[in-house]
Structure 1
Amino acid sequence: MNLPGVNRRQFMQATALTALASGGAGIAAQAKPSAPDTPVGWIDGAAPARHLGQTWGVPWPQGLYKPAQRFRLTDGSGAAVPVQSWPLATWPDGSLKWSAHSVGAGAGTSGLTLSAGKATEPAQPVKVTEGADAITVTTGPRQWRIPVRGDRLIDSATIDGRMVLRDLRLICLSQDQPDLTEAETVSQRRSIGAVTAVTVEQRGPVRAVVKLEGAHRDGERSWLPFTIRLYFHAGAESVRILHSFIFDGDENKDFIRGLGLTASVPMSDAPHDRHVRFTGEGDGLWAEAIRPLTGLRRDPGKDYRQAQIDGRAIPALSGMAETVSKRLDLIPTWGDFTLSQANADGFAIRKRTKPGHGWIDAQAGRRAGGLAYVGGAAGGAALAMNDFWKRHPARLDVRNAATDNAELTAWLWSPDAPAMDLRFYHDGLGIKTHPQEREALEITYEDYEEGWGRPYGIARTTELHLWSLSATPARDWFTQTAGILAAPPRLMVPPARLRAVPIFGDWDLVSRGTPARTRIEDQADFLLNLYRDQVEQRRWYGFWNYGDVMHSYDSDRHEWRYDIGGYAWANSELSPDLWLWYSFLRTGRAEVFRLAEAMTRHTGEVDVCHIGPYKGFGTRHGVQHWADSSKQPRVSNAAYRRIYYYLTADERVGDLMRDLVDSDRTLANVDISRKLPNPTPPGVIEAGFGTTWSSLVAAWLTEWERTGDKRWRDRITNGMRTIAALKHRWMAGGAPYDPNTGKFSGPGDKIGVSHLSAVFGAVEVHAELLALLDVSEYRAAWLEYCTFYNAPAAEFRARFGQDAKGRGLRLAHSRLTAYAAHHLKDPKLAARAWAEFTDKGEQIAGSRTHIAGNAVLNPVDEVAGMSTNGVSQWGLAAYQNLALIGDALPAE
């Protein structure tokens, strides 16, 4: 399966690597092989007209390269392309497993090929200079000065020594009440981000990365901790800003009214040579001058009008019609401009001359591109926010443009919107005891417990871009840039090249070689397209919501159950994250990548507690992402992040996974079984092998790969060996756990099967783990679980001497049967696995029904019994069964 934009020669190069990968661990003992060249292409197909810099990951067979291996990049003509490379992960023998590569900004290049060799540096490399008070990053004629402390993220940006921007700051507006309807008075506060630590993570020559950490300060109070990464690419006019913050306030007292980044832009041009730009929908552009020369009663002349429309400096005033030139000071100057995106379907632009005077409605539209500019012939700045309308309410401001210093602000949360209200959505309904909580679970599926549904510790990451510009760009520049923001270009190696190395467990490329395979692939496409369209039809957008999908459907209302307890937001329940990522690995589809990327950004931030008593645990599915009282590692699971991390080398997701390596300590604060009739005895930490331990293993595995630190390997093997020592091994379900050693204890003499144990990434993690670690007794324990989970009752009793409750989700677990069939080379198990997968009782309906008219607010499509649980597990089972036992699938 080709990645769009990769030619046949490159595809054959990618597939040739399979021969190297097949050697597995033994390859290191052979004479060092030479690798075929690796093709790199754009996920959208054709190369973009322009991009802002690219970073991507590449996997390598074990034993092929050392971590310090150097790489070169060439284009379709064989010319060298400057590239920067670094290691991301290693194999158990210390050889390179994943490398990361970055190219500078500019026009997109086709036919890229990566190979071993010395890299070419850019003509104007990125340079980083560290001083006592500031770090200076130079990219060609541009310099960006970053203070090492204080309330400025960037205190100046110059072009050839000329100041075009200064004082980039974080700002938060908050209040003690959500609105005036709940109180007679509302007290408002203004907090400014204060940097306390700065780290240079990369120094060029193609890419430099500077990490800033701190918190917002309001007098003596310090809150809303943040992490900012600034990315500088060779050839770029801009800096990429990755902004993350954690909510650590009191949701009953701290209502965020506005959260944004603001910068000052010096203005020296005459008012008629100053310009403001906002990108609209598609190619739309709102472009006006601070002092307009068009539409006047008297005509200044065509050349003057056209220059202003184009954003150029107007000709000398001496040539302007005197009827206009002598009256310029009588034309109002407009200093303040706002574009406000209140929701996913509407934005409005307004302007005013200055504070103290009324606002004038200017224009309106549906979905703004999220880019604002202010400046003139002497220079200017642009600021943009990715996914602008998708993360509403958002706003872009230009202020004081008629003065010597304009202000340019991107509001992640718009001050126009109601204050951010994170309070729990109901009053508790009188529920006080565990029996009452379990009773409520029976009706709304919500796991409620008073005080456990707080938003304390949730986070959000937003991507922005800031340009320093020597003059007002042409209109085409804004059109191109809006396109980059709407669908960011991405370089990636093709699926065949990814599959050629044993990474991410059991999956294979799309194949329609038989009617049965075709039906499965068609159904896979059908479900992907369904969810792509549901995001739009159901408006699954918004600051805290974008990236997630809903859990279950209500056919009577023709609506997802957004307001019914545990049936609302999915919050990674039964691994939709992995379904999307494996779908992308198999297909290379750009739209699937972006769905998966948005979900990874959401679920890793919003659905996880990053600080506080539940640190490192995620929140079960619910009406609000943080509201359910079930806090578990199954949601914060690093297995849901690692594919994105290795494909993109994203540092923020790397941070999130690293934060999880000691999250088993939180088990001392959170007894997951506390509401059951026989809770865990005091002082004993009970951990399930699936939803808890396997989720922790994903973080340890990733940290071992990234650092080579064997203590994480040893922690994994401690768990493996002690699980294998239990009487019923994996069938025990769980056992007392020691977070100091990672070991389990106890007899394990009771069957404790759960239908959830293997459906939160455990299958995927084990497929990787057992290919890396040779712990024979644990391999036998896992194969036993895979063989007998779905076994007929008689076979189960014969093996274990008793029956087992909880062996549900048979279709999802058909991939366990397939795993056992593949590794035990058992054709009967393979036939059983396909029978389990094709069981009509668990199939997902394959046709859409279009609902319109007064049955719904907006026309929508639905599929009978839509369930994200079912779709996710169907997809994962289909992919893994095809990869493991595809040759046993009946042709018809």
Structure 2
Amino acid sequence: MISRRAFLVHSALAGGSLAALPGLFPAEAKVRGDLPAPPVDAEIAWIDGAAPVLHEGETWGVPWPRGTKKKGARFALRDGEGRALPVQSWTTATWPDGSIKWTAHAIPAGAGRTARLRVVPGRAAPPEAPVRAAEQGDAIEVTSGPLRWRIARNGESIILAAAHGGRETLRNLRLVATTQDRPESEAEETIARRRYASAVTGAAIEQAGPVRAVVRVEGRHRGGDRAWLPFTMRLYFHAGSEAVRIVHSFVFDGDEQKDFIRGLGLVGEVPMADAPYDRHVRFAGTGDGVWGEAVQPLTGLRRNAGKAFRDAQVAGLKVPPIAEMAAPVRDGLPYVPLWGDFTLSQPNPDGFAITKRTKAGHGWIEVDAGSRANGLGFVGGPAGGVAFGCKDFWQRCPVRLDIRDAHTETASFTVWYHSPDAPAMDLRFYHDGMGMNDHAAENEGLDITYEDYEAGWGTPHGIARTTEFTLWPLPATPTRERFAAMAAFVAAPPRLAATPARIHAAGVFGDWGLPDRSTPARAAIEAQNDYLLEFYRGQIEQRRWYGFWNYGDIMHTYDVDRHVWRYDIGGFAWDNSELSPDLWLWYSFLRSGDPRVFRMAEAMTRHTGEVDVYHLGRFRGLGTRHAVQHWGDSSKQPRVSNAAYRRIYYYLTADERVGDLMRELLDSDRTLVHVDIGRKVGARRSGSLPPGGTGAVTAEAPLPEGQIFLQFGTSWCSLVAAWLTEWERTGDRRWRDRILAGMTSIAALPKRWFAGGAAFDLATGRFLGAGEKVSVSHLNSVFGAVEMNSELFDLLDVPAYEEAWLDYCVAYNAPAAEFQAMTGAPGQGRNLKEGHSRLTAFAARQRKDPALARRAWAEFFSGEAGLGMGIPAQQRKIDGPAVLKPVDEAPSVSTNATAQWGLAAIQNLALIGDALEASYPGGG
């Protein structure tokens, strides 16, 4: 016999989903030998459709069907022509039987020039010039071909030096931060500013080579007697690459009333050995545009230096010997200014400007301007230099690139990932409380603006941000063509991924299938999902959802009257993962492999896992509900910090930072000891706000020490995502047992899932208490609970829990009389029928019930409290004096409805797709 999930996987491999009604649910009693052989290799593709012009080494993940790869399995890589390629492989997850579930693989720079690659069993080919990391005294040394890096284990500098071919090209790479004690907008006599630099407290090798080496660095920013803004930084080196990729994360642990960050930068020094006229500066513009000049120009002079000199300088080459220069120019060189300082500043997403000056104390000269810079600069010459870049440069504005003292023996560069040009960050709460001094008043505020306000809870203390940099210590000035390719690499790094069909064949991430447009109904659903993805991509651009703290998030609800999203209305503003748009994007990518969807989902993952979650302090491990400011709402919950929103990205990319974020959540249930999610539920004066208006189910009496009240869907399932991922990553059965304790104890409660929540024992992971009352919330299954339960059904065998969940799935959207018959209670608290149709579909599939399948599609097409079909036809262009600029709007689109409609569409098609045509009302 095989498991339910194994049957679904193998039937998908066979090319079918469900047989047509009435034989909708074929029997599962097949022996394994009757099924297609599971894949033993994996097809990998560049998500942009072709091999990139430039890549500096790639890392990606591959899933494997259960039981097909045993511990210790070896992997090789072949290109489209069957040639062996160097690859480094490691396991990132295992199945419950110990077989390999996910592997990660890395290739050297420039490898894999065919559109598709294949991971196969076998011994890996070694790289021609391996990368190696080793401890050397008080430093870590990384070598890769002609490059040698020294990374500090303490002190101010992070990279002490990088040498190319024995010549030191980069030194003293460090972080800087500048702050002030009040914003400029305040009418104060003086502003006190302080400067901080990185103080490394430790460094460790995480991977030593031969294809990929990773070094993790930790520290804080120090200035005077203060150390704050803790950071982690990973340095990634690949064989064959001259670059280091840097993933840097910091946590704001200051006082938003006093600490106004003005600048955040990455600074390095570049020894300058060439003559001033052989020193070159480059900035990337938009597209393949490059601005390049010399420190001492030889073009445009009154006297002609000679074509060979002019051409060489423009190309970034060493000019001919100076003795060959025209005498009037050679003699006049002392009077040709040396330009030492250069800046490219991008204060907003629509424009950048380049300026330069000779040196400090003298005026700046305006050079040129453009729209959106790709975020790459260079300073150096024929004897060597450094290119430095920042991913998502203009999207994360205000940002800046600086070059200083290029006319001296040592130039410096700074990548300002928050520009000191801009006003200082003002992270203070945006209003004064407006008289909301108790829970009753706060609830009335919630009723009118949808904002859950509580004094002191809208703090940024503990939020974080991750930024990616790339540095190239180069032996010479790159050609303009190569520099443009490097800029394209920084702006949109190429990605390898297993193909959608191959990921699906592995049976990971629950219920989803590949796009199928073979019938009118299927085509209509796929077309609407495609439209919604493109609509939100367009809204990000039209509404300028960019900026240091904002990029990656989207808005919650639209204001048709003003033709804007409700950016300033309480809980209707930033979405903060409300109703799982993160999952909608990731499942859409899994199905399509669309690079645009990947990059949108990646930006959301970076944002919501960092900015919307607390990484230290009293709210550590919890996230913030949707709000005008990402951290502003007083509802702090696991539903936002949810590892379910990070794990797909982690497994697809093996990104260690996201792995850290999920591991941070393992004990976040303990934060709920002093953060009571439902603390306001009983304190209401207004009758217009129903109980549980914020999705809270609460205990009726104080709980003993060591217990908390935990909601099943919004909290426990979110915690399960972290525990499940840790069990998969490490094989540590403590986390499996903690999940099992929750499952078995929920099943033992009288009302099981219908109780909504119960007292939870932190030590054992078991739910306690009576569980005798029905408390159903529309939020209880829309924050990853559906997806987590689908995976739990596959991974763990707990029949009583399975029945409890399936009963909930059947009852949630059931007619009132049927709900009452099943639960003994009226069906209050139920809405989002479209989104919850996937619960009905899951029960239909598991219980092989064609009537439930038909009911699920009827619910999906009902349009009740959701989108309905035909959304693309609603889009309209608004222009003229009604708006600041022309915009597109689709009035009925909200992020809640979109995310749940999209997930229901994907999961219903996978679960009961063959029941669709009989239920499709047509139209759309």
Q: Which amino acid aligns with 1:178?
A: P
Note if contact 1:246-1:459 (Cα within 8 Å) is conserved in structure 2: yes
1:486: Cα distance to partner? Answer: 2.4
What is aligned with 2:779? Answer: 756
Q: Do residues 480 (structure 1) and 485 (structure 2) align?
A: yes
Which of 740, 745, 749 is matched with 1:722 structurally?
745
Note if contact 1:346-1:365 (Cα within 8 Å) is conserved in structure 2: yes
Q: Do residues 846 (structure 1) and 892 (structure 2) align?
A: no
1:633: Cα distance to partner? Answer: 0.1
Quick one: structure 1 residues 180 and 800, their matched pair in 2 at CA, closer, same or farther if it must change by over 3 Å? closer
Which of 496, 501, 520 is matched with 2:501 structurally?
496
Note if contact 1:49-1:107 (Cα within 8 Å) is conserved in structure 2: no
Structure 2: distance between partners of 1:291 and 1:389: 29
Q: Do residues 317 (structure 1) and 322 (structure 2) align?
A: yes
Quick one: structure 1 residues 392 and 777, their matched pair in 2 at CA, closer, same or farther if it must change by over 3 Å? same
Structure 2: distance between partners of 1:191 and 1:869: 42
Structure 2: distance between partners of 1:839 and 1:514: 20
| Structure 1 residue runs without a partner (length 5+) | 1-11
What is the correspondence of 1:89-238 to structure 2 with a 5 Å cutoff? 89-106=93-110, 108-110=112-114, 111-179=116-184, 181-238=186-243
Q: Which amino acid aligns with 2:835?
A: A
1:82: Cα distance to partner? Answer: 0.3
Give aligned-pair identity as a percent. 62
Task: Indicate the SS of the match to 1:604.
Answer: helix
More displaced 10-residue stretch of structure 1: 781-790 or 32-41: 32-41
Structure 1: distance between partners of 2:489 and 2:752: 52
More displaced 10-residue stretch of structure 1: 42-51 or 203-212: 42-51
Q: Do residues 676 (structure 1) and 700 (structure 2) align?
A: no
Structure 1: distance between partners of 2:625 and 2:77: 44
What is aligned with 1:885? Answer: 912
Q: Which amino acid aligns with 2:872?
A: G
Structure 1: distance between partners of 2:863 and 2:242: 57
Quick one: structure 1 residues 181 and 433, their matched pair in 2 at CA, closer, same or farther if it must change by over 3 Å? closer
Quick one: structure 1 residues 890 and 18, their matched pair in 2 at CA, closer, same or farther if it must change by over 3 Å? closer
1:802: Cα distance to partner? Answer: 2.3
What is aligned with 2:48? Answer: 44
| Structure 2 residue runs without a partner (length 5+) | 1-9, 18-25, 684-697
Which of 770, 773, 776 is matched with 2:799 structurally?
776
What is aligned with 2:58? Answer: 54
Structure 2: distance between partners of 1:38 and 1:446: 47
1:682: Cα distance to partner? Answer: 3.1
Note if contact 1:276-1:288 (Cα within 8 Å) is conserved in structure 2: yes
What is aligned with 1:667? Answer: 672
Note if contact 2:265-2:418 (Cα within 8 Å) is conserved in structure 1: yes
What is aligned with 1:530? Answer: 535
What is the correspondence of 1:632-643 to structure 2 with a 5 Å cutoff? 632-643=637-648
Structure 1: distance between partners of 2:188 and 2:755: 55
1:798-850: CA deviations, max 9, x gaps? 22222121011111100000000000000111110000000033334332101
TM-score (norm 1): 0.96
Note if contact 1:15-1:497 (Cα within 8 Å) is conserved in structure 2: no
1:679-725: CA deviations, max 9, x gaps? 64334521100000000000000000000000100100111111111
Quick one: structure 1 residues 30 and 379, their matched pair in 2 at CA, closer, same or farther if it must change by over 3 Å? farther
Task: Indicate the SS of the match to 1:890.
Answer: helix
Task: Indicate the SS of the match to 1:223.
Answer: strand
Which of 549, 562, 579 is matched with 2:554 structurally?
549
What is the correspondence of 1:351-370 to structure 2 with a 5 Å cutoff? 351-370=356-375
What is aligned with 2:886? Answer: 859
Aligned length: 878
1:18: Cα distance to partner? Answer: 11
1:119-154: CA deviations, max 9, x gaps? 001010001121221111001100010111111110
Note if contact 1:822-1:885 (Cα within 8 Å) is conserved in structure 2: yes
What is the correspondence of 1:395-434 to structure 2 with a 5 Å cutoff? 395-434=400-439
Structure 2: distance between partners of 1:23 and 1:158: 65
Q: Do residues 799 (structure 1) and 822 (structure 2) align?
A: yes
1:25: Cα distance to partner? Answer: 14
Note if contact 1:27-1:63 (Cα within 8 Å) is conserved in structure 2: no
1:739: Cα distance to partner? Answer: 1.2
Q: Do residues 82 (structure 1) and 108 (structure 2) align?
A: no
Structure 2: distance between partners of 1:796 and 1:47: 55
Which of 567, 570, 580 is matched with 1:565 structurally?
570
Structure 2: distance between partners of 1:27 and 1:378: 68
1:481: Cα distance to partner? Answer: 1.2
Q: Which amino acid aligns with 1:248?
A: D
Structure 2: distance between partners of 1:442 and 1:254: 33
Structure 2: distance between partners of 1:347 and 1:27: 64
1:67: Cα distance to partner? Answer: 2.9
1:765-794: CA deviations, max 9, x gaps? 100011100011100100010010111111
Q: Do residues 704 (structure 1) and 715 (structure 2) align?
A: no
Structure 2: distance between partners of 1:537 and 1:17: 41
Structure 2: distance between partners of 1:826 and 1:30: 25
Which of 837, 860, 882 is matched with 1:837 structurally?
860
What is the correspondence of 1:626-637 to structure 2 with a 5 Å cutoff? 626-637=631-642
Q: Which amino acid aligns with 1:800?
A: T
Which of 809, 814, 833 is matched with 2:837 structurally?
814
What is aligned with 1:7? Answer: none
Task: Indicate the SS of the match to 2:168.
Answer: strand
Note if contact 1:50-1:108 (Cα within 8 Å) is conserved in structure 2: no
Q: Which amino acid aligns with 1:51?
A: H
1:367-411: CA deviations, max 9, x gaps? 001001000011000110000000000000000000000001100
Structure 1: distance between partners of 2:340 and 2:514: 56
What is aligned with 1:5? Answer: none
Q: Which amino acid aligns with 1:44?
A: D
Task: Indicate the SS of the match to 1:222.
Answer: strand
1:108: Cα distance to partner? Answer: 4.8
Structure 2: distance between partners of 1:576 and 1:167: 41
Note if contact 1:24-1:62 (Cα within 8 Å) is conserved in structure 2: no
Task: Indicate the SS of the match to 1:88.
Answer: strand
1:272: Cα distance to partner? Answer: 0.3
More displaced 10-residue stretch of structure 1: 171-180 or 41-50: 171-180
Note if contact 1:18-1:501 (Cα within 8 Å) is conserved in structure 2: no
Task: Indicate the SS of the match to 2:872.
Answer: coil
Task: Indicate the SS of the match to 2:488.
Answer: helix
Note if contact 1:16-1:36 (Cα within 8 Å) is conserved in structure 2: no
More displaced 10-residue stretch of structure 1: 179-188 or 355-364: 179-188
Q: Do residues 745 (structure 1) and 768 (structure 2) align?
A: yes
Structure 1: distance between partners of 2:390 and 2:52: 20
What is aligned with 2:334? Answer: 329
Note if contact 2:556-2:895 (Cα within 8 Å) is conserved in structure 1: yes
1:148-196: CA deviations, max 9, x gaps? 1111110000011111110000101111111264321111111111111
1:447-475: CA deviations, max 9, x gaps? 00000000000000011001000000100
What is aligned with 1:251? Answer: 256
Alignment RMSD, CA only? 2.0
Note if contact 1:17-1:500 (Cα within 8 Å) is conserved in structure 2: no
Structure 2: distance between partners of 1:62 and 1:181: 61
1:866: Cα distance to partner? Answer: 1.9
What is aligned with 2:896? Answer: 869
Which of 641, 655, 658 is matched with 1:653 structurally?
658
What is the correspondence of 1:595-634 to structure 2 with a 5 Å cutoff? 595-634=600-639
Quick one: structure 1 residues 792 and 32, their matched pair in 2 at CA, closer, same or farther if it must change by over 3 Å? closer
Q: Which amino acid aligns with 1:718?
A: A
Note if contact 2:834-2:863 (Cα within 8 Å) is conserved in structure 1: no
1:29: Cα distance to partner? Answer: 12
1:64: Cα distance to partner? Answer: 1.4
